[in-house]
């Protein structure tokens, strides 16, 4: 009777495991079953822990470049994480990218976004400025993302994906030194501003 009940229960996805049934329902072999009560409260999904997001949709008035630079942060005390995906770049070309101070206007003029975001005033002289990614806070403009994390390198198809999520302990998405409301500008090898976009909350 007990065995029949266990079989029936299993058919309904409920495995009841009375102590007396351990012989027929082995716990330690490939046929092992485990006590599980699906009538219990549904498993509560863990809330997504990412609370701050920033997404810059990148496009260009003068080239076909498109893509995105994204930021997220679990909370305002955690480092921001950042990545990108860009396409329609010139194959095998190298690009730099920065957070610029001001957002892109309606005419999508990437030149009208001001300079690189540099709240610590690290860049005192453009001629001698040299960002060392191992000393980001003292030698790099905060917004000098390619200086700190490496250039964007397009593959033969003109596509570039960030090789990893970069962790940024100094920039934040929306708290201190926020990237929200600013812009990302992509420069080609000659320094021309070839594409840009505003960093906005993904939820918008
Ligand atoms: C873009 O903005 C720059 C800087 O404000 C300005 O010099 C330039 O004329 C603008 N270009 C266009 C096409 O509006």
Domain locations in the chain? 1-41, 52-200
Residue 109 alpha carbon, nearest atom of ligand 1 = 1
Q: What is the CA radius of gyration of the chain?
A: 26
The mean-pLDDT minimum among 3-12, 77-86, 128-137, 145-154 falls in 3-12
Ligand 1 centroid, distance to 117 Cα (angstroms): 19
What is the domain class of 52-200 according to CATH?
A: mainly beta
Q: Which of 109, 183, 185, 194 to mutate to test the pocket of ligand 1 (most atoms within 8 A of CB)?
A: 109
Q: What's the pTM?
A: 0.75
Whole-angstrom distance, CA of residue 140 vs CA of residue 158: 28
Ligand 1 atom 11: residue of nearest CA: 109
Supply the pLDDT for residue 26. Answer: 44
The three-class DSSP label of residue 8 is helix
């Amino acid at each position: 009777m007990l065995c029949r009940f266990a079989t029936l229960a299993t058919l309904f996805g409920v495995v009841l495991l009375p102590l007396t049934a351990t012989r027929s329902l082995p716990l330690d072999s490939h046929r092992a079953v485990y006590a599980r009560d699906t009538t219990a409260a549904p498993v509560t999904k863990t809330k997504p822990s990412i609370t701050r997001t920033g997404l810059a949709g990148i496009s260009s008035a003068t080239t076909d470049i498109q893509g995105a630079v994204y930021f997220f942060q679990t909370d305002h005390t955690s480092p921001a994480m950042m990545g990108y995906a860009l396409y329609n770049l010139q194959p095998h070309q190298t690009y730099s990218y920065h957070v610029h101070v001001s957002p892109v206007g309606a005419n999508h003029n990437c030149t009208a976004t001001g300079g690189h975001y540099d709240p610590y005033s690290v860049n005192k002289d453009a001629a001698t400025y040299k960002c060392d990614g191992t000393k980001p806070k003292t030698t790099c403009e905060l917004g000098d993302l390619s200086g700190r994390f490496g250039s964007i390198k397009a593959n033969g198809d003109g596509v570039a994906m960030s090789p990893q999520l970069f962790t940024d302990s100094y920039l934040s998405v929306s708290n201190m030194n926020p990237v929200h409301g600013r812009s990302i500008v992509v420069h080609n090898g000659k320094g021309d501003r070839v594409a840009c976009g505003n960093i906005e909350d993904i939820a918008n």
